[in-house]
Amino acid sequence: MNKINYKKSLGFTLSLLILTVPLFIFAQPAGSGATINNPLKSDSVTGILESILDLVAVVGSIVVVFFIIWSGYKLVMARGNPGEMTKAKDMLLATVIGGAILLGADIIANVVINTVKTTVDTTAP
């Protein structure tokens, strides 16, 4: 019986692939007027940071709503058990505090961004 040496076979296959792939790549020639489009909505770092902050606020708001619903479910499912009700109330309180912190951070960030923008716009020549 022939015993196949898998390491040699794999090495041969990979080297053959590496050598033949450049033959099948059809790139555009240089100077053909190809452009790269910017996938971001903004061209500045501050615009990108604003987009990230907005995304964090939206995702955080969804998480807060989910946890409010979840803690309400846990409160209903406690069925009068004092230990479980206390856990659910603590979870609801922590969720509301986290939502308030998220909202406050978003407000502070927007105030700072708008202040910097108005300061830069008024002092620009």
Which residue carries 């709503």 as its tokens?
Answer: 65
Count CB neighbours of 28 within 10 A.
Answer: 8
Q: Which domain holds residue 113?
A: 44-125
Please work out, in degrees rounded to the nearest 5, the angle formed at the alpha carbon of residue 37 by the alpha carbons of 34 and 43: 135
pLDDT digits (tens, 9 = 90+) for 15-25: 888 887 776 66
Residue 96 domain flag: yes
**This prediction's pTM:** 0.62
The answer to the question of residue 13 being in a domain is no
Instruction: Tell whether 34 is covered by a domain.
Output: no
> Exposed, middle or buried by CB within 10 Å (0-12, 13-18, 19+), for 105?
middle
Closest to 45 (Cα-Cα) out of 119, 125, 116: 116
Q: Which range scores top for mean pLDDT: 1-10, 30-39, 44-53, 102-111?
A: 102-111
E strands of 1-125, at which residues?
none
14: confidence class by pLDDT, cuts 50, 70, 90: confident
In a domain, 48, yes or no: yes
